[in-house]
C-alpha cells in the first residue's frame, strides 16, 4: 500500500508543486508518514519541512491538522496551497466565532485537506465539541521546539497539544518538525508527544556553502557599510538590525553611502508596505532589507547571498535559523555576525530584566484584570486587545517591563497572548440593513455611498450580529483609498452617522486569562527562574561560538548534538589556519608581554598598537595562554605571570 501511495505522492509532487524529485530526506519522511509511523523531522531552515506534511495531506483520505505558532505563517501557507489547487483553511483569533464554526463544519464534511490552527485554539469549547466529528488522519506540529522549555521559543500551549487530542492520539499519525533542536529539546519533544519509537529524519546542521564569519569591532556601523559594499555585487542580502530605529537608520545610511537600494522592515511599518517590501525582495527588485527578527519566517528565497547580524541573537538556535535564510540554492554565501564586547553584557542584563519578580507580576496581573473590569473569580469570555502603553501608564511600569511581564504570564500559562502581525479592522453594523441600503442609494455624497457599499459587501450579514474582522490591508485595497482615509471614513460612520462600531487591532496583543481571576497568583521560584536560567545558559553557548578559535561550523553542529564532527574548512577560523604557518618570534612575545603588563588589552587594541594582523597577534596570544601567562577577562587579555618576571 505504501509503495502505491508513494507513487501517488511523486505524481502529486510534479502535478501540484512542479518539482521533478524530492529534496534530500523528504521522501524518507513522507514514506514514514504514509506508513503511519510517528516521525520527528530535523531539517534546517529552507530544507523543505512544510512539504513533508502538506503532500501526505493530499494523499491521505482524512484531514490533516497543522499546529502552527504564527498567524501570518499559517495564512501565507494556506494561500500558497489554495493557489496550487489544494483545499486548506485556518482558524485563529483573527476570524469571528461564526466563521470558525463554519470552517469546522466544512472540515467535518470533508471540504479540506489541511486545517491550520494555533495551539491555543485546541483548548476552546468549540474545538473540543467538534474534535470527535472530524475525520483526522495526520497531526503535524510545526516549530516543534516550542514544546520544550529548553527551546528558544518555548510556548506553554504546545505542551497541551497531546492532551487535547488524547481521545484519538493513538489512532492518528503524528509528525513533529523543527529546524533547531538540541538533544535536550529532541528528548523533550518525544516525551511530551508520547513518541515511543519514532522515525527520526535529520539532514544535519552542516552548511558546506556557508563561510561563517564573526567580526569583533567597536565600530559596527563602519564595518557593516564595508561589508555591504563588498557583498553588494554578489546578489540579495538581509541585515538583522535588532530595533526599529536601527532598521530605519541603517537602511538610510546604506542607500546614501553605499548606493544600494535598501528598505527597512519592522512592525511599525504599515502591513501593505511590509508585504510589498517582502515581495520585492523575493522577486529580486529590492536587493537589500534591514529588518527585525520577524522578517524571513516562511519566506522561500533561494538566492540570498549574505545575512548580516548587526545585533547579536541571544541563542545559537535563533542565529542558525536566521543565518540559514542565505544560500538555500547551495551556492557560496556569507553569514556575518558583527560583535562588540558589550553585546554579551547587555544581552545578559536584558534576559535578567525580562523576567520580572513575583510582586511585579502580581501588580501587572491586577492592573490588567482591573482594566478589563474583571472581579476576583470572574472569567474572560473571549480574547481582548490590550494596549501596552496604557498598561504601562496604569501600572507605573515601563512599557518594556509590561511587555516582559505579559510574556512571562503567557509562558506560565496564566494568560494566553496572541501577537498580531497583520492589522485587522473589526466592524459591527448597528443600523439596520434596510437603513444602510437606503443611505447607499440616496443622492448626495457618492464617495461616501461607495465607501459604505464596499463595507457592506465585504463584511456581509455576519457583521450585523457581531464584530467581524478583516485584514486592514485587504480592506484598504477593496476601498482603493489610503490607510488614513479608511480610518477617517469609519470614524465618521461611527461618531457622526452612528451606523456602525469599529475597532482597529494593530500592534497591540490580544490576551485572555486561562482561568478565573485569582486574588493572589501562586508562583514558585522555580517557575519564575527556570526559563530565565535556561536562556542565560544558551547565551553562554552564544558567547562560546563568538570566542572560539576553532571551527565555527563544528561548534554549531556539536551544539545541536552531532558527533564525530570535523572542521569545515570554510569559516573564518578555518581559513585563517590555511594560510602559511608563521613561526612565533621571541620579539613578538616580548612586545605583547610588555604591553599587557601595563594593563589588559583587547585583540583590536593590540593590533592597532603594533600595526600587526589579527592572525599574528592571535598566534602569540594563543601561545601565551597555553603557557598560562595570559588569561582572558571580559574580552581583554591580561598578563598573570608573577614569580619568574
The answer to whether residue 542 sits within a structural domain is: no
Kindly state whether residues 355 and 466 are assigned to the same domain.
no
The answer to whether residue 543 sits within a structural domain is: no
What's the pLDDT at 328?
Answer: 85
pLDDT tens digits, 262-283:
999 987 787 678 878 988 998 8
Kindly state whether residues 289 and 333 are assigned to the same domain.
yes
Q: How confident is the model at residue 582 (pLDDT cuts 50, 70, 90)?
A: very low
For the cut 50, the answer to whether the pLDDT of residue 459 exceeds it is yes
Residue where one domain finishes, among candidates 149, 167, 202: 202
* Residues 39, 48 contacting (CB under 8 angstroms): no
The answer to whether residue 644 sits within a structural domain is: no
- C-alpha cell belonging to residue 559: 551544539
What's the pLDDT at 507?
Answer: 60
**Element (DSSP H or E) covering residue 66:** strand 63-67
Q: How confident is the model at residue 644 (pLDDT cuts 50, 70, 90)?
A: very low
Kindly state whether residues 489 and 514 are assigned to the same domain.
no
Secondary structure in 3-state letters for 485-538: HHHHHHHHHHHHCCCEEEEEECCCCEEEECCCCCCCCCCCHHHHHHHHHHHHHH
The sign of the CA dihedral 230, 234, 235, 241 is negative
What's the pLDDT at 578?
Answer: 57
The answer to whether residue 171 sits within a structural domain is: yes
Q: How confident is the model at residue 110 (pLDDT cuts 50, 70, 90)?
A: very high
Percent of the chain clearing pLDDT 90 (strictly above) = 42
Residue where one domain finishes, among candidates 202, 221, 242: 202
Structure-model confidence comparison of residues 645 and 158, the more confident one: 158
* Residue-range definition of the domain harbouring residue 68: 2-202
Kindly state whether residues 499 and 417 are assigned to the same domain.
no
Q: How confident is the model at residue 335 (pLDDT cuts 50, 70, 90)?
A: very high
> Nearest to residue 340, comparing CAs of 30, 635, 141?
635
The answer to whether residue 257 sits within a structural domain is: yes
For the cut 80, the answer to whether the pLDDT of residue 361 exceeds it is yes
Percent of the chain clearing pLDDT 70 (strictly above) = 94
For the cut 60, the answer to whether the pLDDT of residue 579 exceeds it is no
The single residue listed with the C-alpha cell 555576525 is 337
Kindly state whether residues 109 and 69 are assigned to the same domain.
yes
Kindly state whether residues 171 and 217 are assigned to the same domain.
no
For the cut 50, the answer to whether the pLDDT of residue 581 exceeds it is no
Min mean pLDDT across 57-61, 194-198, 526-530 is at 526-530
Q: 276-292: string of b/e by CB count within 10 Å (b at 16+)?
A: bbbeebbeeebbbbbbb
* Residues 255, 299 contacting (CB under 8 angstroms): no
What's the pLDDT at 2?
Answer: 66
Kindly state whether residues 53 and 193 are assigned to the same domain.
yes
What's the pLDDT at 580?
Answer: 45
What's the pLDDT at 152?
Answer: 66
Instruction: Tell me the CATH number at 62.
Output: 3.40.50.300
With H, G, I as helix, E, B as strand and everything else as coil, classify residue 576: helix
> Nearest to residue 250, comparing CAs of 270, 227, 280?
227
What's the pLDDT at 416?
Answer: 80
Kindly state whether residues 143 and 162 are assigned to the same domain.
yes
Supply the DSSP symbol for 266: -
> Nearest to residue 519, comparing CAs of 362, 410, 301?
362
For the cut 60, the answer to whether the pLDDT of residue 645 exceeds it is no
Report the alpha-carbon angle 342-344-349, nearest 5. 95
The sign of the CA dihedral 58, 85, 271, 505 is negative
What's the pLDDT at 594?
Answer: 81
Kindly state whether residues 411 and 275 are assigned to the same domain.
no
A 10 A CB-CB count for 461 gives 11
For the cut 70, the answer to whether the pLDDT of residue 571 exceeds it is yes
Counting the structural domains of the chain, the total is 5
Q: Tell me phi and psi for residue 501, to 5 degrees.
A: -115, 140
What's the pLDDT at 643?
Answer: 36
Kindly state whether residues 27 and 79 are assigned to the same domain.
yes
Parallel, antiparallel, or unpaired: how do β-strands 288-291 and 262-265 relate?
parallel
What's the pLDDT at 475?
Answer: 86
Mean pLDDT in the chain?
86
Min mean pLDDT across 53-57, 283-287, 510-514, 549-553 is at 510-514
The answer to whether residue 569 sits within a structural domain is: no
- Whole-number Cα distances in Å, 184 to 42, 151, 332, 492, 631: 14, 9, 31, 56, 32
Kindly state whether residues 334 and 247 are assigned to the same domain.
yes
For the cut 80, the answer to whether the pLDDT of residue 420 exceeds it is no
Instruction: Tell me the CATH number at 609.
Output: 1.10.10.10
pLDDT tens digits, 592-622:
888 888 888 888 888 888 778 887 888 788 8
State the Cα–Cα distance between residues 581 and 576, nearest whole angstrom. Answer: 10
Supply the DSSP symbol for 601: B
Kindly state whether residues 242 and 312 are assigned to the same domain.
yes
* Residues 511, 416 contacting (CB under 8 angstroms): yes
Which residues lie below 8 Å from residue 348, measured CB to CB, with a gap of 6+?
Answer: 536, 539
Q: Tell me phi and psi for residue 291, to 5 degrees.
A: -130, 165
Q: What is the largest CA-CA distance in the chain?
A: 101
- C-alpha cell belonging to residue 504: 482597529
The answer to whether residue 645 sits within a structural domain is: no
For the cut 80, the answer to whether the pLDDT of residue 349 exceeds it is yes
The answer to whether residue 572 sits within a structural domain is: no
State the Cα–Cα distance between residues 154 and 146, nearest whole angstrom. Answer: 4
pLDDT tens digits, 130-158:
898 999 999 999 999 988 877 667 777 88
Amino acid at each position: 500500500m505504501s509503495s502505491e501511495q508513494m507513487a501517488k505522492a511523486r505524481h502529486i509532487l510534479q502535478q501540484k508543486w512542479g518539482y521533478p524529485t524530492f529534496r534530500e530526506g523528504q521522501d524518507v519522511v513522507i514514506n514514514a508518514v504514509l506508513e503511519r509511523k510517528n516521525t520527528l523531522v530535523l531539517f534546517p531552515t529552507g530544507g523543505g519541512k512544510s512539504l513533508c506534511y502538506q503532500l501526505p495531506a493530499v494523499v491521505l483520505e482524512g484531514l490533516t491538522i497543522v499546529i502552527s505558532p504564527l498567524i501570518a505563517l499559517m495564512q501565507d501557507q494556506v494561500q500558497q496551497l489554495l493557489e496550487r489547487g489544494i483545499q486548506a483553511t485556518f482558524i485563529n483569533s483573527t476570524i469571528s466565532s461564526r466563521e470558525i464554526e463554519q470552517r469546522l463544519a466544512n472540515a467535518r464534511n470533508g471540504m479540506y485537506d489541511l486545517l491550520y490552527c494555533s495551539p491555543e485554539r485546541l483548548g476552546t469549547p468549540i474545538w473540543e465539541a467538534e474534535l470527535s466529528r472530524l475525520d483526522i488522519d495526520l497531526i503535524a506540529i510545526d516549530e516543534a521546539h516550542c514544546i520544550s522549555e529548553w527551546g528558544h521559543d518555548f510556548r506553554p500551549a504546545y505542551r497541551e497539544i497531546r492532551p487535547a487530542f488524547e481521545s484519538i492520539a493513538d489512532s492518528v499519525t503524528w509528525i513533529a518538525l523543527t529546524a533547531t533542536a538540541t538533544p535536550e529539546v529532541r528528548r523533550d519533544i518525544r516525551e511530551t508527544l508520547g513518541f515511543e519509537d519514532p522515525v527520526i529524519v535529520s539532514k544535519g546542521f552542516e552548511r558546506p556553502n556557508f563561510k561563517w564569519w564573526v567580526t569583533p569591532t567597536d565600530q559596527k556601523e563602519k564595518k557593516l557599510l564595508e561589508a555591504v559594499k563588498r557583498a553588494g555585487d554578489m546578489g540579495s542580502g538581509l541585515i538583522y538590525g535588532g530595533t526599529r530605529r536601527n532598521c530605519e537608520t541603517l537602511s538610510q545610511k546604506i542607500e546614501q553611502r553605499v548606493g544600494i537600494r535598501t528598505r527597512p522592515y519592522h512592525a511599525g511599518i504599515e502591513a501593505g508596505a511590509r508585504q510589498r517590501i517582502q515581495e520585492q525582495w523575493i522577486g529580486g527588485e529590492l536587493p537589500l532589507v534591514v529588518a527585525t527578527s520577524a522578517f524571513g519566517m516562511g519566506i522561500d528565497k533561494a538566492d540570498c547571498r549574505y545575512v548580516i547580524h548587526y545585533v547579536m541573537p541571544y541563542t545559537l538556535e535563533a542565529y542558525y535559523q536566521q543565518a540559514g535564510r542565505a544560500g538555500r540554492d547551495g551556492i557560496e554565501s556569507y553569514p556575518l555576525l558583527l560583535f562588540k564586547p558589550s553585546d554579551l553584557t547587555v544581552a545578559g542584563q536584558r534576559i535578567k530584566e525580562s523576567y520580572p519578580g513575583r510582586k511585579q507580576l502580581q501588580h501587572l496581573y491586577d492592573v490588567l484584570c482591573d482594566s478589563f473590569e474583571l472581579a476576583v473569580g470572574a472569567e474572560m469570555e473571549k480574547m481582548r486587545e490590550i494596549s501596552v502603553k496604557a498598561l504601562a501608564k496604569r501600572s507605573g511600569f515601563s512599557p518594556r517591563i509590561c511587555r516582559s511581564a505579559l510574556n512571562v504570564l503567557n509562558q506560565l500559562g496564566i494568560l494566553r497572548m496572541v501577537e498580531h502581525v497583520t492589522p485587522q479592522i473589526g466592524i459591527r453594523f448597528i443600523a439596520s440593513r434596510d437603513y444602510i441600503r437606503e443611505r447607499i442609494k440616496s443622492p448626495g455624497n457618492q464617495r461616501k455611498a461607495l465607501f459604505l457599499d464596499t463595507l457592506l459587501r465585504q463584511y456581509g450579514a455576519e457583521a450585523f450580529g457581531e464584530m467581524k474582522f478583516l485584514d486592514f490591508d485587504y480592506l484598504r485595497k477593496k476601498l482603493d483609498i489610503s490607510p488614513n482615509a479608511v480610518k477617517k471614513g469609519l470614524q465618521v460612520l461611527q461618531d457622526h452617522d452612528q451606523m456602525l462600531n469599529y475597532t482597529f487591532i494593530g500592534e497591540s496583543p490580544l490576551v485572555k486569562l486561562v482561568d478565573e481571576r485569582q486574588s493572589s497568583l501562586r508562583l514558585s521560584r522555580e517557575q519564575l527562574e527556570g526559563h530565565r536560567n535556561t536562556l542565560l545558559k544558551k547565551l553562554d553557548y552564544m558567547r562560546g561560538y563568538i570566542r572560539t578559535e576553532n571551527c565555527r561550523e563544528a561548534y554549531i553542529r556539536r551544539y545541536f548534538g552531532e558527533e564525530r564532527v570535523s572542521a569545515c574548512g570554510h569559516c573564518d577560523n578555518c581559513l585563517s589556519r590555511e594560510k602559511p604557518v608563521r613561526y612565533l618570534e621571541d620579539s613578538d612575545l616580548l612586545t605583547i608581554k610588555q604591553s599587557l603588563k601595563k594593563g589588559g588589552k583587547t585583540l583590536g587594541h593590540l593590533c592597532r598598537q603594533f600595526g600587526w594582523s589579527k592572525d599574528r597577534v592571535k598566534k602569540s596570544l594563543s601561545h601565551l595562554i597555553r603557557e598560562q601567562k595570559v588569561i582572558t577577562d571580559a574580552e581583554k587579555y591580561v598578563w598573570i605571570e608573577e614569580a619568574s618576571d
